[in-house]
Structure 1
Amino acid sequence: MGVTASDGNAATEWSPTGSVTVRVPGKLNLYLAVGDCRDDGYHELTTVFHAVSLVDEVTVRDADVLSLRVSGEGADVLPTDERNLAWQAAELMAEYVGRAPDVAISIDKSIPVAGGMAGGSADAAAVLVGMNVLWELGVPRRDLHSLAARLGSDVPFALHGGTALGTGRGEELATVLTRETFHWVLAFADRGLSTPAVFKELDRLRDTGRKLPESGDPEPVLAALAAGDPQRLAGLLGNDLQAAAISLNPDLRRTLRAGVEAGALAGVVSGSGPTCAFLCSSAQSAADVAVELSALGAGRAVRVASGPVYGARVVPSSVSGA
């Protein structure tokens, strides 16, 4: 199944509205090569993003003042003020169009917090798309992408969805052809990992001169995706941040081993972790692996997902009048 980017700009499809709900996916990094730290403090990255069917739902409503409410996965640890990227997205969009950010944002989360699946970035992307439709702004896709990049490196891909090659700090995207649907099992760790802390740990490990596994060329990964071959893709999954994530949370090594022993083709830490993603040969295999990992108590939760899926998209039935 091929999935291309969604434009997040469908304001002309509906009449004026009082609320809009956007569904937005989490991401996996099927390949992640981390280069040197740049002058701006970011590392140069080459990555293959893959959007999967674990989604957050973000509803944006007209309101008198900006507010944020979060429910679901990790709601008890997320800030509901200007520290939250979704709040920042509302302020940025309002500033961009010269209005006050008078919206009420409600987020129902399924993507793990600090889990390496860009849940916060996904929510920010959803707010941009939702406000664009709610206020009938007609902001074009390229401008939404620019706004997204100002919010964070992973926000543009949450808009884009599908599968994409990311370069720069991850915000420069090129769509990747993906045939067939790939099936995944996701194991959430008991505690999250800070993305800056994982990059800092990678720098520390490299400074010690320790030989670390390195991702090779992305081209074989792209070819396996184009062929729709999970067996071929399994041997190519790679993440330069995995060693650093395991250094900070050694339990991840046991989880990765358990997933493969349960029947997964391969496992990889997603992004900065600590979520472990296991590629399976079929939907049935993924269900079987998930049952076994759950029985073993691998992390605090185990989920089944598939990909690629679309990026942030309005749920048409959610649109209501003021």
Structure 2
Amino acid sequence: MSAEQSSQVVAARAPGKVNLFLSVGAVMEDGYHDVATAYQAVSLYEDVHAYPADDFSVSFSGRINTSTVPTDGSNLAIKAARLLARKTGYRGGVRLEIEKNVPVAGGMGGGSADAAATLLACDALWGTGLTREDLVRLAAKLGADVPFALVGGTALGSGRGDRLSPALTTGNFTWVFALAEQGLSTPAVYRRLDEHREKHALDISPASTVPQVDPNVLQAIRAGDAAMLADSMHNDMQVAALQMQPGLSSVIELGERSGALAGIVSGSGPTVAFLASDVDSALEIQVSLSANGIRTVRAQGPVSGARLITE
């Protein structure tokens, strides 16, 4: 490490996401599922500051409770930094300080945003010079949502969700997110979905082997039509998340009674995403939910993917 490098601090920012549509295929022999999803990056950001160090460490700040987030080698940001070091032959380490604004275990890709921002920050800090395409390929090794946190915008995801294709989007969409007090484990939600499908096999259609995004979703985002999008949003994971946290049903009902065009569990949950017609409507939804003791945040989408920032 050069003297110039040792004095550097690099900061990167990556967004959380909402799944506008999520179709989960049948469970495969390896226990995983293919999915078809439409991602949208939203203006809730994870900020990662990377400092030169001899080993790898991470700490957290911000308004999100991070008491359940590991700070050892199992942390996704640490995994991202170590993966980049192995890939490039870098022999040093990094000290990561992360300001969290995306809910933990909330279905909004906060950990994936941490990993994406870490890849970008460490690449700049260490001078390893990887292209954005190189970083996206590395990101796919870390988790299905990490590549999207790098790419941002609105995109379709297939395979495990990591094979991305950009989706043309017009205008902006306004979101209100209802935050749950307790997170959900994504693998646990998948297991509950598989159990639900098996239990109700005679009553519901079998899961697709090749899931697809509803064309109406693509039409709605292309037209920038929030009402049309509200009519076509769907999440296969929602039934499992509602079984694991039954109170989410009343949250969705309250938000929709308060003026939301639609409410949907984001990803594996338990965050509930409400699509609003405009900012004024979003404020009314927030007031109503807050009056019932539900914490909320408001955001816009789509926004850009991970990027370096200066402070």
State whether TM-score is above 0.5: yes
Deviation of 1:141 (Å): 1.7
Tell me the secondary structure at the aligned position of residue 175 of structure 2.
strand
Q: 1:275 aligns with which of 271, 275, 286?
A: 271
Tell me the secondary structure at the aligned position of residue 156 of structure 2.
strand
Q: Does 1:164 align with 2:155?
A: yes
* Separation in 1, partners of 2:144, 2:256: 31
Q: 1:146 aligns with which of 124, 137, 145?
A: 137
- How big is each residue's C-alpha offset from its partner over 1:16-48, in whole Å with a ceiling of 9 and x where there is no partner? 661111111111000000001223322010000
Question: Does the 8 Å CA contact 2:36/2:213 hold for their aligned counterparts?
Answer: no
Q: State the match for 1:249 in structure 2.
A: 245
Q: State the match for 2:59 in structure 1.
A: 69
Q: 2:70 aligns with which of 52, 74, 79?
A: 79
Q: 2:233 aligns with which of 237, 244, 261?
A: 237
**TM-score, normalised via structure 2 length:** 0.93
CA gap of 1:101–1:48, structure 2 versus 1, over 3 A, is farther
Q: 1:188 aligns with which of 160, 163, 179?
A: 179
**TM-score, normalised via structure 1 length:** 0.90
Tell me the secondary structure at the aligned position of residue 76 of structure 1.
coil
* Separation in 2, partners of 1:71, 1:167: 33
Question: Does the 8 Å CA contact 1:126/1:312 hold for their aligned counterparts?
Answer: yes
Q: 1:297 aligns with which of 277, 280, 293?
A: 293
Question: Does the 8 Å CA contact 1:90/1:101 hold for their aligned counterparts?
Answer: no
Comparing 201-210 and 178-187, the one that deviates more:
201-210
Q: State the match for 2:50 in structure 1.
A: 60
* Residue identity matched to 1:141: R
Tell me the secondary structure at the aligned position of residue 71 of structure 2.
coil
Unaligned runs of 5+ in 2: none
Question: Does the 8 Å CA contact 1:25/1:53 hold for their aligned counterparts?
Answer: yes
Q: 1:203 aligns with which of 186, 194, 202?
A: 194
Deviation of 1:101 (Å): 4.4
Q: Does 1:132 align with 2:126?
A: no
Deviation of 1:217 (Å): 4.5
- How big is each residue's C-alpha offset from its partner over 1:51-88, in whole Å with a ceiling of 9 and x where there is no partner? 00011111111122211111221222211110110010
Tell me the secondary structure at the aligned position of residue 145 of structure 1.
helix
* Separation in 1, partners of 2:92, 2:81: 6
CA gap of 1:241–1:281, structure 2 versus 1, over 3 A, is same
Tell me the secondary structure at the aligned position of residue 12 of structure 2.
strand
Question: Does the 8 Å CA contact 2:37/2:213 hold for their aligned counterparts?
Answer: no
Q: State the match for 1:8 in structure 2.
A: none
Q: State the match for 1:5 in structure 2.
A: none
Q: State the match for 2:82 in structure 1.
A: 91
* Separation in 1, partners of 2:27, 2:305: 29
* Alignment RMSD: 1.6
